């Protein structure tokens, strides 16, 4: 059921009975990744509706493994280790997994070192020795920054953000609302004394639609 909720491709394989499964593959940022689930004993007290699936989310993690060239065996180390409880939901009688949260948690080594560091545990952004933290009330701003930070300098179309599985895929968010969210994100970073990073956040129009971007080339590292 977890593989079905994830929408993985390929067959599910038990690697260690009742504990480890290969769930197939997913595609993130045009890269093919293998997904492995490791589960502790479900126990009789598994909470909530998730117990119906035989899964104890609080004792389960999804390990997303990098794959190269579409080969069958995973290589290149872990792309992400994600607690299942943070992405698993039970809605309308079925399991639903938040793919957007998985996608934004996966990190690739693209050779770029001068890039803000995001900490999922603390919900913080660190860049050039300064840190900005996000409260639970600012989760939408946190998610927007993470989305743009996946590929700094790239124009991310609002229409792309509204696609299923992306940051706004489950909501009908207007262009004006995304622009306002970007402005609020700038203000949030500025209040944390990260105004130079805030100025790297840009919105504009391209091909008849809006876009947002994190343009780190606009950051003046010599003006601290």
Question: Does 84 share its domain with 163?
Answer: no
Q: Domain end: 88, 109, 130, which one?
A: 109
Question: Does 32 share its domain with 124?
Answer: no
CATH number at residue 206: 1.10.10.10
**Quick one: CA dihedral 156, 161, 163, 164, positive or negative?**
positive
pLDDT for residue 224: 47
Mean pLDDT of 193-214: 93
Mean pLDDT of 187-216: 94
Measuring CA to CA, which residue among 29, 40, 121, 127 is closest to residue 79? 29
Q: Domain end: 109, 125, 157, which one?
A: 109
Task: Identify the domain containing residue 55 by its residue range.
Answer: 1-109
Question: Does 188 share its domain with 209?
Answer: yes
Rounded Cα–Cα distance for residues 177 and 132 (Å)? 23
Question: Does 49 share its domain with 121?
Answer: no
Question: Does 23 share its domain with 91?
Answer: yes
Q: Domain end: 75, 94, 109, which one?
A: 109
pLDDT for residue 44: 30
Instruction: Assess contact for 158 and 169: CB atoms under 8 A.
Output: no
Question: Does 102 share its domain with 156?
Answer: no
Question: Does 116 share its domain with 224?
Answer: yes
- Angstrom CA distances, 38 to 23, 55, 177, 193, stand at 10, 11, 39, 41
161, containing H or E segment: helix 158-161
Instruction: Assess contact for 161 and 147: CB atoms under 8 A.
Output: yes
Question: Does 82 share its domain with 118?
Answer: no
Question: pLDDT band at residue 25, thresholds of 50, 70 and 90?
Answer: confident
Is residue 60 scored above 70 in pLDDT? Answer: no
Give me the number of domains the chain comprises.
2
Rounded Cα–Cα distance for residues 40 and 19 (Å)? 6
Question: Does 19 share its domain with 96?
Answer: yes
Rounded Cα–Cα distance for residues 9 and 34 (Å)? 9
pLDDT for residue 64: 61
Question: Does 198 share its domain with 133?
Answer: yes
Question: pLDDT band at residue 210, thresholds of 50, 70 and 90?
Answer: very high
Crossing angle, helix 139-149 and helix 175-191, to 10 degrees? 90
pLDDT for residue 92: 77
User: pLDDT, tens digit, for every residue of 135-180?
Assistant: 999 999 999 999 999 888 899 999 999 988 889 987 789 999 999 9
pLDDT for residue 94: 77
Is residue 216 scored above 50 in pLDDT? Answer: yes
What percentage of the chain has pLDDT greater than the value 70? Answer: 71
Measuring CA to CA, which residue among 112, 108, 100 is closest to residue 78? 108
Strand-pair category, 88-91 with 94-97:
antiparallel
């Amino acid at each position: 059921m977890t593989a079905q909720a994830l929408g993985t491709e390929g067959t599910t394989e038990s690697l260690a009975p009742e504990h480890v499964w290969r769930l197939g593959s997913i595609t993130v940022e045009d890269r093919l990744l293998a997904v492995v689930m490791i589960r502790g004993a479900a126990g009789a007290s598994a909470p909530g509706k998730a117990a119906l699936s035989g899964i104890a989310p609080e004792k389960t993690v999804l390990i997303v493994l990098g794959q190269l060239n579409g080969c069958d065996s995973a290589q290149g180390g872990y792309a992400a280790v994600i607690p299942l409880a943070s992405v698993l939901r039970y809605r309308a009688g079925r399991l639903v997994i938040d793919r957007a949260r998985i996608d934004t948690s996966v990190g690739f080594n693209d050779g770029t070192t001068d890039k803000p560091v995001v900490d999922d545990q603390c919900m913080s952004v660190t860049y050039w020795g300064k840190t900005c933290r996000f409260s639970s009330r600012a989760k939408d701003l946190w998610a927007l920054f993470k989305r743009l930070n996946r590929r700094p300098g790239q124009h991310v179309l609002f229409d792309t953000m509204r696609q299923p599985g992306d940051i706004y895929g489950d909501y009908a968010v207007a262009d004006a609302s995304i622009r306002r969210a970007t402005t609020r994100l700038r203000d949030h970073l500025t209040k944390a004394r990260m105004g130079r990073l805030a100025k790297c956040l840009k919105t504009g129009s391209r091909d008849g639609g809006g876009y947002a971007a994190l343009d780190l080339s606009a950051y003046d590292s010599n003006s601290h």
